[in-house]
Amino acid sequence: MNAKDIIIEWLKERSFDGLCLPEKGDGIMTPNEIIKGMQQKNLLLTQKNDKYLILSEKKAMAEKEYSIALAQTILKLKLDGNPVGMIDKVAKGDSVVAKLKYQLDIAEAVMKACKESMDNVRIAIDTYRSILTWQR
């Protein structure tokens, strides 16, 4: 098995985030197929970048809401005369604050997943570039 066959098998096993495989049965991608695949991945990457910006804004908004609610709860607990050492734990246990923290954690996780997906698309683009270079 030569290097080209090993690469093709490796790509087939992993399906590489939608990497287009050869249309012909011989396992060799034409330069046009490679360029078409790169164009598709570049478009997908642009879409993911736009989505990442939206997710970043949602995360920032969730963080803002959480911080405001936490600060308000801490201030209320201090004014109520609660022991200083317990205020942080009690404030974070407040149902509204806990719900906002949960939403913040979800926003961070979704943003991280989107970033990792973007990295996978970049790898697919690099793979196309490598195959195109290798075929020259």
Asked, for residue 94, whether it belongs to a domain, the answer is yes
Question: Burial code of 105-116, b = ≥16 C-beta within 10 A, e = fewer?
Answer: eebeeebeebee
Q: 38-55 burial, b for 16+ CB within 10 Å, e for fewer?
A: bebbeebbeebeeebeeb
How many domains does one find in the chain?
1
Residue 88 pLDDT greater than 80, yes or no: yes
pLDDT value, residue 132: 85
pTM above 0.75, yes or no: no
Quick check: is 25 in a domain?
no
Asked if residue 67 belongs to a domain, the reply is: yes
Task: Kindly state the tokens that stand for 47.
Answer: 């879409």
pLDDT at position 25 is 54
55 lies in some domain: yes
- Structural domain contains residue 21: no
Determine, yes or no, domain membership for 127.
yes
Confidence of residue 29 (pLDDT cuts 50, 70, 90): confident
Domain that holds residue 51: 32-135
